[in-house]
Every structure is written in structure tokens, then in C-alpha cells.
Amino acid sequence: MNYGEYTYNEIAEELGVSRERVRQIELKALKKLASRFRQLGYDEAFLRDIETIDSYTQDKR
């Protein structure tokens, strides 16, 4: 996954952490967002997109 023009490796280098740690932080943030969206009543189709991102990043390791 990209953050604009930045890769996991570029972000990891900037923050002084591993590429895997960047991916873990991203996943934790997405899960927190999904939880909050559920509380606010967003539909499940939107939340499945977040789960798709999780499985996509797992495949790219």
C-alpha cells in the first residue's frame, strides 16, 4: 500500500523502524477506524474494504 508517493520502506527509514512495523501500525489504525465506523453505523460493505486491505498487506510481505 502507498501513502501518496511513499512506500513502506521509505516511511520505515524516515521513522527509524522496520517495514513490518510500519505495516503493523497501519493495520492497527485501520482496525481502530473500522471499530469506530461500526459504532457510528456505517454499512458493512465499507468495513469489508478495510478487511480486504488487511489481507492484501498480508499477501505482500
For 1-14, the pLDDT digits (tens) are: 445 688 899 999 99
For 31, the domain range is 8-59
Q: What is the pLDDT of residues 24-53, one digit of tens each?
A: 998 898 888 888 888 888 877 767 766 676
* Residue 2, domain member (yes or no): no
**Rounded CA separation 30/50 (Å):** 7
Q: What are phi and psi of 3, to 5 degrees?
A: -110, 85
Q: Is 53 buried (19+), middle (13-18) or exposed (0-12) by CB count in 10 A?
A: middle
- Are 50 and 33 in contact by the 8 Å Cβ rule? The answer is yes
* Residue 33, domain member (yes or no): yes
* Residue 3, domain member (yes or no): no
* Residue 34, domain member (yes or no): yes
**Domain tally for the chain?**
1
* Residue 36, domain member (yes or no): yes
Has this prediction a pTM greater than 0.85?
no
* Residue 1, domain member (yes or no): no
